[in-house]
Amino acid sequence: MQNYKEFLEEIIISENQLQKRIAELGAEISRDYKGETLHLICILRGGVLFLADLMRHITVPNSIDFMAVSSYGAGARQSSGKVRITLDLQEDIRNRHVLLVEDIVDSGYTIASVIDFLETRHPKSLKVCTLLNKQERREIPVPIDYCGFVIPDKFVFGYGLDLDELYRNLPFIGTVNTSRYTPPDH
């Protein structure tokens, strides 16, 4: 397996920048939901690191749940526009203040489908918090209530985001030098 240093082009968001911004988002969310109880829904798997750090900065009472969707075919890096729910929530969201926690909004198809799906269950409110926003790539309009960083149209990895399912554990967000990257053959 390659060491990420072999194909890392640039660290576009450092660990310090991530942690500082996530603390700010947590404070903003805590102010907005003051007096309420918040239900955080993390979209697996890319959102887990973000959720874990974000929730430590949320001071209103909160609960968490997880769902998984698949929008990409194996190995492909383009959203197909079709999103399938592969893991449903454990808990009912009716009448609850729901905040969706996502790693990245790219074309927008994933989050748009998840919003449609969750709205049918009648939450009291439904908002979106994404760490990264690839604004230029948007194909379908989606409401983003909280955004960590707007990033350029480059494939990124680290801090939850994978490269062929690897490297999610890195504490920063980096771009890939594709000419130096070799996909794993496992």
* The only residue of 13, 40, 105, 114 in contact with ligand IMP, by rule CB under 6 A: 105
Q: Is 106 annotated in the active site?
A: yes
Q: Are 113 and 69 in contact (CB under 8 A)?
A: yes
Confirm or reject binding of residue 104 to ligand IMP (CB under 6 A): yes
When asked if residue 158 is in the footprint of Mg ion (CB under 5 A), the reply is no
Among 46, 123, 148, 158, binds Mg ion (CB under 5 A): 46
Partner whose footprint covers residue 108, from Mg ion, ligand IMP, none (CB < 5 to 8 Å by kind): ligand IMP
Shortest distance, position 46 Cβ to ligand IMP, whole Å: 5
List of E strands, 26-124: 38-44, 62-70, 84-87, 97-105
Token pair in block for residue 98: 């729901």
128 forms part of the interface with ligand IMP (CB under 6 A): no
Cα 40 to chain centroid distance, Å, stands at: 12
Alpha helices in the chain (DSSP H): 15-32, 48-55, 109-119
Applying CB under 5 A, the residues found at the interface with Mg ion are: 46
Catalytic residue numbers?
A: 106
